[in-house]
Every structure is written in structure tokens, then in C-alpha cells.
Amino acid sequence: MLQRLFHNFTHNPKNDILSGLTVALALVPEAVAFAFVAGLDPLVGLYGAFIMGLLTALLGGRPGMISGATGATAVVMIPLIAKGNEIGLGLDNPIADLGVQWLFVTLLIVGVIQASAGFLRLGKFIRLIPYPVMLGFVNGLAIVIGKAQLGMFYETVDGESQLLSGNDLWIMIGLVALTMGIMVGLPKLTKAIPAALTAIVVVALITIFGGIDVATVGSFIRDGGGDGLKGSMPTLNLHIFDNLGTISGHWGLVFLVACQIAAIGLIESLMTLNLVDELTETRGSGNRESVAQGLANFVNGFFGGMGGCAMIGQSIINVNSGGRGRLSGVTAAVMLLVFILFASEYIEQIPIAALVGVMFMVVIGTFAWSSFRILHKIPLSDAIVLVAVSAITVWMDLAVAVLAGVIISALVFAWKNATMIRARKRTKNDGTKVYEIWGPLFFGSVTAFNSKFDVKNDPDKIEIDFIESRVSDHSGIEAIRGIANKYLEQGKEVKLTHLSPECKTILLKANDKFESIIETSIDDPRYHVVTDLMDAEA
């Protein structure tokens, strides 16, 4: 047991520590950027990344997976924070940061929702997400990550954003290309040190000692309105409850945002877990990850972090750099705190170009290029789902994209199964007409099922055999009851054979006269029907 725990924590300390350091460097600008997106102080984003990263690394269901502040959750926070700040400034004693306090209360609710999902073992429902949706999610997220990096090629002049020009643009492109080149070439020479970390250090040294004026982590923070990277340890803040009265009349917004953050966080985390499972050829625990994500968001609410979820880009950087144990995630989180406390002046000198180059390599590694090769080989419906999920992920957000993909896939599945029902007809020696039903009987196939029968012109004796069919839901039961009653109303004799015990029970509750028309056999199938109790009506 202890050996297994140690193996999960680390089975290669050097790789885990070096890859964790690489991830920590890549986390800084993203955490800061997402804090700006949500309208928060950069340190709130950094604290959120530290707390999310540490707790999920120690307690999560997937060693090697990285969590932190994410853009998907940051976007959802915007209306809540804006509304809170608006209310705060309108008070007799104005509270400038009331929106932030509302966010911390919201994160407590998010934590309870996510942890409850884990305890109720709802993580298993991630298996319902079809593979084309997974491919679309990966491709869409890669495009979103890539688009975010393109923003680094712009500068703000007189309050307006415009593309870099002249030497500034060429220096940026050159440094990004150099970073990517090192990441491609170094692994061919040696895998002893992470290529991403080496690329960041080399490019940073070139700009520092070469006196090259480029955008750095420090300038990025100050351009966004922050004072710098340096801060103190996150502290317990119970004052978030002091202004609960200001939420009166706005609890609907708070719970709506909490549900959105919880849903987006769980979907992104569990799908990232599945992706890392494939990369490492191991299997994580979705339920345990859900609990860890919930706990981390809950703690963020008390310690002043912005919360978040799993990060696919950083997780891939970590895995590709050799970080497979929990130590890699712990290292990333701890180093992030070290940067804040002790090394802010050095980290602020890292060129943004180096981090952009690393993230571009993540985009290349994340995008499922095989989807182009298989697009014309898979069913048209799957191809539509793949493209739709990719597009919706870029256009709106991950949760909407995945939900849309699952719904489209479910509708396609239902339609295909609705057309599969058949009725083979034959006549026995005694003149009984037999309908041998083949295929699933459910809400989608009821109309086709009813069309198979000719009640008016059929002989006086009818047998409907379900040996090769399966009644799946309440609609199927109602269809059987309806067609049997039609024959009975015509004064004809009808027999129902090879129904499961549950089908018989439900039909008898609807009409106890059916006992004479339902035949029982030792080879009756056994399965459950998804249905509510039917009303006891004839």
C-alpha cells in the first residue's frame, strides 16, 4: 500500500521536479491573464492557481494532471463580479471590491456542488461523452489556446490594441521560433532535461544579457493594471461573510454562476483526465478528481483565490516533460508560491515570447491532427459532431460545446435505432397471424412499430412475439398496451409473448385483463424498463 502511494507521488523525482518547474513558469502569465479577464487583481489569479494546483495534485484522481485558474471559468465570473462592484459602489459606505467578495462566497457553493458530484459518483457519466465529442473538445481547446497566444503579438497604443510592427514584431517572431525550435530539437539530443524549461531559460538569458527590449511577464502585469508579481502568503479570510446582506435579491445570480463554474470545471477537468489517461496509458478516478476540484474551489473561497479547474495545456506540458507523479503538480504549485514570495523580480524578466512558444507547441501537441485523416472515413453524423463541438468551443465555451455534442450524438443514436424496428409476419397452421418483432421499442420507434400492424384486416387470432426485441421505456409499454387494446376492441384474440417480467408487471398494472393475453415462458427475456409507474387505467 505504502509502495503504491509513493509510486503515485513520484517514481522519477528529477523528472517530476523539473517538469513541475516548467509548468509553474507557464502558469504565471495565464493565471495573471485570466485574473484580468475576470476583473480581478493578478495575485487573486496566482493564489487561485497555487491552491487549485496543490490540493488537486495531492488529492485528485489523476497523478500528473495540473489544475489552476482557467479562462473557461474566468469568463463566467465576469457578470457576477461586475454586478457586485456596481452594488458595492452604490452603498452609503461604498465597497469597491464587493464583486470579489461575492465571488469568494460563490466559490464555496461551487466547492459543495463539485464535491457532492464526486461523493455521489457522478464522475462516471463522463463515459457518456462520445469519442467524436472528445476529438472536437481537444481540437476546439487547442484553437482557443492558440488564439489566446496571438493576443501577445499586439500592444496597446493610446488605449487601442494594435499589432506589433517593425523590429518588435520580428524579434517576437524570432524568439517564439527559437523557443519552438529548442523544444523540437533538444529531445533528439537528450531527454535528461525538459525541453520546455530549457527553451524558457535560454530565451530569457538571450534577452537579458543581450539587452533586447521585449515584453516580459513583469511588463505584462503592469500593462494590465497590476503592481507586480510579488505578494505574501494567502491568508484565511472570514470577512467574506460580513457583507452577505448585500447579496439579498441577487442570490439567483450567485447560484447560477456557481452552477456554471461547477459544470464547466467538472467537464473540463474530467475530459482532461481522460486525455491524460490516454497519453499515459493509465486510468484515473473521475469521482476522486471531482471531490478534489470541489475542495480546492472551496478553499479558494476562504483564502482569496479565483478558483478554476484542470488545465489541458499545462497538463500536457507536464506529461510531455516527464511529470507523471503527484510530485510534479505539487512542485508546480509550490514553485508558483515561491515566485510570488521570493523570486518575483526574476520571473518578471522572462520574455512573454518564450512562454508563447511553449504554448504554441502545446497547441500542436494537443490538436488531434488525425481527425483530418479520418474525417471522410467516419459516419457523416460523427464528422458533423466533431466539427460542431470544435466550432462551438471556440465560439462560446466548453460546457455548451460538450452539451451540444452529446445532445446531437444522442439524437442521431435515437434516430438510427428508431428506424431499426422490424416486424416479420407469418401464419400458423391454425390461422394465427404472428408478428415477430425485431429491434428496440422505445419513444423513437413507437410510430414505426404501430405502422407494422393491420388491425382491421388481420385474422381473429394474433400473436405478437418480442423474443428479438427489447422494450426500453414507458413509451414502448404504452405502444404495446395501445395496439393490444385495438385488437381487443375489434373482438379479436391477441397474445403477447416473450415479454420481460417487468414489462408484464407494468402492463398488468395498467389493465388487469391483460393477464389472459400475456403468455409466460421459461425463455422469457429479463431486463428492466426505464419507466414511471403507469396509471391503473384500462
DSSP per-residue codes, 399-416: HHHHHHHHHHHHHHHHHH
Residue 450 has pLDDT above 60, yes or no: yes
User: What pLDDT score does 534 carry?
Assistant: 43
- Cell 493565471 locates to 31
Q: What is the longest distance spanned by two Cα atoms in the chain? A: 101
For 493, counting Cβ atoms within 10 Å of its Cβ (0-12 exposed, 13-18 middle, 19+ buried), the class is: middle
- Compute the average pLDDT of residues 336-364: 88
Band the pLDDT of 5: cuts 50, 70, 90: low
User: What pLDDT score does 308 carry?
Assistant: 93
pLDDT, tens digit, 9 for 90 and up, residues 300-311: 999 999 999 999
Segment among 317-331, 390-404, 411-425, 484-498 with least mean pLDDT: 390-404
- Compute the average pLDDT of residues 276-298: 91
User: What pLDDT score does 2 carry?
Assistant: 47
Q: At what angle do helices 251-280 and 312-320 cross, to 10 degrees?
A: 20
Band the pLDDT of 210: cuts 50, 70, 90: very high
What percent of the chain stands above pLDDT 90?
41
User: What pLDDT score does 4 carry?
Assistant: 57
**Nearest of 50, 51, 33 to residue 42 by alpha carbon:** 33
- Compute the average pLDDT of residues 117-128: 83
User: What pLDDT score does 531 carry?
Assistant: 62
Tell me the C-alpha distance between 223 and 212, whole Å: 19
Cβ–Cβ contacts within 10 Å for residue 186, how many? 19
- Cβ–Cβ under 8 Å, residues 60 and 67: yes
- 72 or 117, which is more confident: 117
DSSP 3-state of 248? coil
pLDDT, tens digit, 9 for 90 and up, residues 95-116: 888 999 999 999 999 999 999 9
- 194 or 458, which is more confident: 458
What b/e readout covers 316-337, taking b as 16+ CB neighbours within 10 angstroms?
bbbbbbbbbbbbbbbbbbbbbb
- C-alpha grid cell for residue 3? 509502495
User: What pLDDT score does 449 carry?
Assistant: 93
**Nearest of 424, 387, 423, 429 to residue 405 by alpha carbon:** 387
DSSP 3-state of 228? coil
- Compute the average pLDDT of residues 141-163: 82
Supply the mean pLDDT for the chain: 87
For the ranges 145-154, 237-246, 333-342, the maximum mean pLDDT occurs at 333-342
HSE at residue 296, side-chain half, CA atoms within 13 A, is: 34
Answer positive or negative: Cα dihedral of 61, 67, 71, 74. Answer: positive
- Cell 403507469 locates to 534
Beta-bridge mates of residue 437:
423
pLDDT, tens digit, 9 for 90 and up, residues 452-467: 999 999 999 999 999 8
Band the pLDDT of 533: cuts 50, 70, 90: very low
Beta-bridge mates of residue 422:
438
- Cβ–Cβ under 8 Å, residues 62 and 45: no
User: What pLDDT score does 128 carry?
Assistant: 74
- Compute the average pLDDT of residues 417-424: 88
pLDDT, tens digit, 9 for 90 and up, residues 459-490: 999 999 998 998 888 899 999 999 999 999 99
No. of helices (H) and no. of strands (E), the chain = 21, 8
CA 34 to chain centre: 18
